[in-house]
Structure 1
Amino acid sequence: MKLIIQIPCYNEAGTLAIALAALPRHVPGFDVVEWLVIDDGSVDDTVRIAKENGVDHVVRHTRNQGLARGFMTGLEACLERGADVIVNTDADNQYNAADIPALVAPILERRADIVVGARPIDTIEHFSPAKKLLQKLGSWVVRLVSRTEIPDAPSGFRAMSRATAQRLIVFSDYTYTLETIIQAGQKNMAIVSVPVRVNEDLRPSRLLKSIPSYIQRSIMTMIRIFVIYRPFRFFGTLGSVMFALGVLLGLRFVYYYLFDRGDGHIQSLILASILLGMGFQTILVAFLADLLAANRKLLEDIRFTLKRTPGSSEPAPKHDREKRKPVPRKEYAESEA
C-alpha cells in the first residue's frame, strides 16, 4: 500500500520547510509513504526548499492557476505515481500532521471513501468572528446540498482512496473544499469526518485577503454549488417564487377591477404579466438545467470508466507495482503540468 501526501504550494518558501518537517515517513497500514509538492507557478524558492527537505515528487505549473487547479493537478500526479490513498494538507502548517494516521484510518478500515479533518473552529484564536460564521454557513450549505454530515466542509486536511480521486472533478477556480464534498455526496461515496488539531498561525490566509472579498467569493461559491449540483431546485424555486408573485399581483388587479369600479391599478396587471412570463420561463430553464446535470453525471461516469480501463494511462495494478524496484528517496520526479 502506498500513501502519498500532497501539498499545493504558491510562494510558500517561508513555511514549507516547517510543514515538511512535521510530515511522517511511516504511517501504520502503508508500506510506502511519499511526499508530493504541487508548485503553482511560484516565483520564490518553494521548489528548492521542497527538494532540500526530502520531497519525493515535484509537479509544476508554469503559471499560477489557483488552489483548486493545484489540488486537481496533485490528484492526477498521485494517481500516476501509484497512490492507493492520498492525503491533502497545506503548506502553511495549519494542520497537525500527527493526525494523519487518524485521517487515513477510516479508509484503511473500508468505512469511508473520503475523510475530512474537522478543526475546532470555535477555539481557533486567529479566526475572526466573520470567518467563523462563514465557515459554519459554508458547511451548512454543503450539508444541505450533499446530504452529508461534515461539520467543517472548508477544511483542506483530508484523505481519499484511489477510486475516489479518480472520480473527482473540480469546476471552481477558487477552492476545491466545498465542491469535492458535494460530489462525494452526489456519487453516494462514504464520507466521514474526524477531529483534527491545528498549529499556530504562521501567515495570513491566502483565500482571506479581506472580509468583504471573502464574503463575496464565498457567497458566489455557494450559489454556484446550488446551480451546478441542485439546478432543478435552484431554478425551480426561483421560477415558482416569481410565478406566485405574478399570480398574487394578478389577483390584486382583478379584485380592484371588480370592486373598485375598474379604475386604476393597471401597473399591477403589467407587473403580474412580466412576473408570470419570467416565472414560467425560469421553470422551463429548471427542467433544461436538470437534463444538463444528468448528462454531466453520465460524462463523469464515462470518464471514470475510461480511467480504469486497461490500456489507458492508469498505472499498473498493485501486485505489478510491488515487483518494481523502489525509487531512492533522494531522486525527484519533476513534470510540467
Structure 2
Amino acid sequence: MSSTLLTEPPLNPVHAPFSVDRILHPTGPEPRRKHKIIAVLPAYNAASTLAATIADFPPDSVDEILLVDDCSKDDTVRIARDMGLTVIQHEKNTGYGGNQKTCYRYCLERGADIVVMIHPDYQYDARVIPHAVGVIELGICDVVLGNRVRSRSETLKCGMPWWKYLSNRGLTAFENLSLGQNLGEFHSGFRVYRRQVLETIPFEGNSDDFVFDTQFLVQAVHFGFRLGDVPVPVRYFDEASQINFRRSTKYGLQTLTTVGAYWLNRLGVRKFPLFKSK
C-alpha cells in the first residue's frame, strides 16, 4: 500500500492557531477555480477544535472562510480573528438554525457560487471538501452531504453513541422512503450547496433550532433539487459538540412532523410557508 494512503484519518482536536492565508492564498502552481466558494462555520464554544477543523482544509479549496459566532462563552471569536477568518458575532444567541441563516445571507450577498457548511467541532473531515464541491461543479447534484455512516461497525468504533446510531438509521430510512431519496444519512453537519438552492429555498422562515437542517433538505426535495452524498469519517470525542438524548428526541419528533407537512402540502390538504418559493 502506498505510504500516502491513510488507514484512518488523523485526529488532532487541539491544534495551534495559524494564519488562514495558507489555505486561501497558497503559493505554487495550483490552478484557480472558476467558481467562488465560501465555507461557513456556525459556531458556539468551538475554541478547542476550531484550528484543527480549519487545518484540514486543502489549500485553495475555498475563497473565504466565515465563522458566525452565536455568543460563545470561550475564546472562539478571538481565535477565529487571530487566524484571519471572517467573523460575524451575534449580539444574542439565535440558535443553530438562526446561526445558519446569517451564514447563508452573507454568502448570497458576497456572490458565492457554492457554499460549504461544516461544523467547527472537528467531527467532519474537511479534506473531502474539494471532492464534495466537485460533485456540484460537475452538475451531478445541487446538494451534497457528508455521510458519516459508511458502515455500522466503523461508525460505532469511531464513537457514535448506539442510541444516536439507531435513531440516525431509523430517521434516515423513513426520510428516504417518504421523500424518494437514497441518502446515506439526512443528519450531517457537513453540507455543500449550489447557489441556486439558497436563492430558491425560503430558509428565513425555518426554525432557529436544530430541525432547520431537516426542513432545509425537505424543502430541497420539494423544489426539485438533486441530493447526493460522499462518505466522511465520523469523530466523537470529549471536545466535540453533541446534542443530548432529550434534544435528540425532540429533533426526531420535529423531523417526523416536517416530513408529514411535506406530504400534506404535496397532497394539497394544507399549504405550509416552508414550501412557498421566495
TM-score bin (small chain): 0.7 to 0.9
Deviations 1:219-263 (A, max 9, x none): 321232134212269xxxxxxxxxxxxxxxxxxxxxxxxxxxxxx
Cross-structure match for 2:132: 103
Structure 1: gaps of 5 or more residues: 234-285, 304-337
- Contact 2:71–2:91 (CA under 8 A) maintained in structure 1: yes
Amino acid at match of 1:39: D
Distance 1:206 1:200 in 2: 9
* Alignment partner of 1:186 is 2:215: no
- Contact 1:8–1:70 (CA under 8 A) maintained in structure 2: yes
Report deviation, 1:215: 4.7
Cross-structure match for 2:185: 152
- Contact 1:142–1:181 (CA under 8 A) maintained in structure 2: no
Cross-structure match for 2:60: 26
Cross-structure match for 1:173: 208
Residue among 256, 259, 271 paired with 1:292: 271
Report deviation, 1:296: 5.6
Distance 1:199 1:219 in 2: 21
Q: Structure 1 residues 216 and 84, CA, compared in 2 at 3 Å: closer, same or farther?
A: same
Moved more, 78-87 or 57-66: 57-66
Give the structure with higher Rg (CA): 1
Distance 1:77 1:106 in 2: 23
Distance 2:261 2:95 in 1: 20
- How does 1:318-329 map onto structure 2 within 5 Å? none
Residue 221 of structure 1 aligns to a residue whose secondary structure is helix
Report deviation, 1:204: 4.6
- How does 1:177-256 map onto structure 2 within 5 Å? 177-199=213-235, 201-207=237-243, 209=244, 211=245, 213-231=246-264
Distance 1:2 1:153 in 2: 26
Residue 138 of structure 1 aligns to a residue whose secondary structure is helix
* Alignment partner of 1:73 is 2:108: no
Amino acid at match of 2:49: T
Distance 2:96 2:74 in 1: 17
Residue 292 of structure 1 aligns to a residue whose secondary structure is coil
Distance 1:162 1:52 in 2: 29
- Contact 2:160–2:234 (CA under 8 A) maintained in structure 1: no
More helix by share: 1
Amino acid at match of 1:96: D
Structure 2: gaps of 5 or more residues: 1-34
Q: Structure 1 residues 198 and 223, CA, compared in 2 at 3 Å: closer, same or farther?
A: closer
Q: Structure 1 residues 102 and 166, CA, compared in 2 at 3 Å: closer, same or farther?
A: same
Residue 63 of structure 2 aligns to a residue whose secondary structure is strand
Q: Structure 1 residues 194 and 135, CA, compared in 2 at 3 Å: closer, same or farther?
A: same
- Contact 2:41–2:68 (CA under 8 A) maintained in structure 1: yes
Task: Compute the RMSD of aligned alpha carbons.
Answer: 2.2
Q: TM-score scaled by structure 2?
A: 0.78
Distance 1:89 1:107 in 2: 16
- Contact 1:121–1:132 (CA under 8 A) maintained in structure 2: no
Amino acid at match of 1:138: L
Cross-structure match for 1:117: 146
- How does 1:246-325 map onto structure 2 within 5 Å? 290-293=269-272, 297=275, 300-301=276-277, 303=278
Q: Structure 1 residues 221 and 215, CA, compared in 2 at 3 Å: closer, same or farther?
A: same
Distance 2:180 2:213 in 1: 16
Q: Structure 1 residues 52 and 151, CA, compared in 2 at 3 Å: closer, same or farther?
A: same
Q: Structure 1 residues 76 and 215, CA, compared in 2 at 3 Å: closer, same or farther?
A: closer
Cross-structure match for 1:283: none
Cross-structure match for 2:74: 44
Q: Structure 1 residues 181 and 206, CA, compared in 2 at 3 Å: closer, same or farther?
A: same
- Contact 1:11–1:44 (CA under 8 A) maintained in structure 2: yes
Residue 182 of structure 2 aligns to a residue whose secondary structure is coil
